């Protein structure tokens, strides 16, 4: 074993999700029809080995995920404040998850870095992370 290659992301609409992830800087790695109206859609950052596969169909119920069920994709950034401003201009709601709920626009400062959380159109959870 060498590396993480593909993380499946459960979505309702591959096209809508593709547009969202492109706002985050993802590029299409593979977009290939598979028959039966299904498409294999893989997206990633240029030069990075790990990719996301946006899946709106599941061949077997034993591995099926409901759209919005995936939480915890963390994307590294060098300038979290710049990226937050840019993504908010594109209509993406971002903030910090606290005990009292969601704090819109707030960046969490921790000893292991700065974080801000957001969701894709289906509710899959993502975070931006800037190392200290």
Cα dihedral value 61, 50, 97, 117, nearest 10 = -120
- The pLDDT, as a whole number, for residue 104 is 84
Q: What is the pLDDT of residue 80?
A: 98
6 is written with which tokens?
A: 């593909």
3-state helix, strand, coil in the chain (%, to 5): 15, 40, 45
End-to-end Cα distance, the chain: 30
Q: Which domains does the chain have, with CATH numbers?
A: 6-55 (3.10.180.10), 73-130 (3.10.180.10)
**Residue 101 has what pLDDT?**
78
Tens of pLDDT, residue by residue, the chain (132 residues): 999 999 999 999 999 999 999 999 999 999 999 988 899 999 999 999 999 999 998 888 898 899 999 999 999 999 999 999 999 999 999 998 887 877 888 999 999 999 999 999 999 999 999 999
* pLDDT for position 37: 87
Question: Strands 101-104 and 94-98, how do they pair?
Answer: antiparallel
**Location of structure tokens 């499946």:** 8
Strand 6-10 versus strand 51-55 pairing type: parallel
Partners of 43 in the β-ladder: 28, 52
């Amino acid at each position: 074993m060498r590396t993480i290659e593909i993380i499946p992301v459960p979505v309702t609409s591959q096209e809508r999700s593709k547009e969202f992830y492109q706002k985050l800087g993802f590029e299409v790695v593979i977009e290939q029809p598979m028959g039966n109206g299904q498409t294999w859609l893989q997206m990633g950052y240029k030069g990075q080995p790990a990719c996301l596969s946006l899946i709106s169909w599941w061949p077997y119920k034993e591995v099926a995920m409901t759209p919005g069920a995936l939480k915890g994709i963390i994307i590294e950034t060098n300038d979290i404040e710049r990226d937050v401003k840019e993504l908010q201009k594109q209509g993406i709601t971002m903030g910090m998850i606290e005990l009292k709920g969601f704090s819109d626009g707030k960046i969490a400062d921790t000893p292991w870095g700065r974080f801000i959380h957001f969701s894709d159109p289906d509710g899959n959870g993502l975070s931006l992370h800037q190392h200290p």
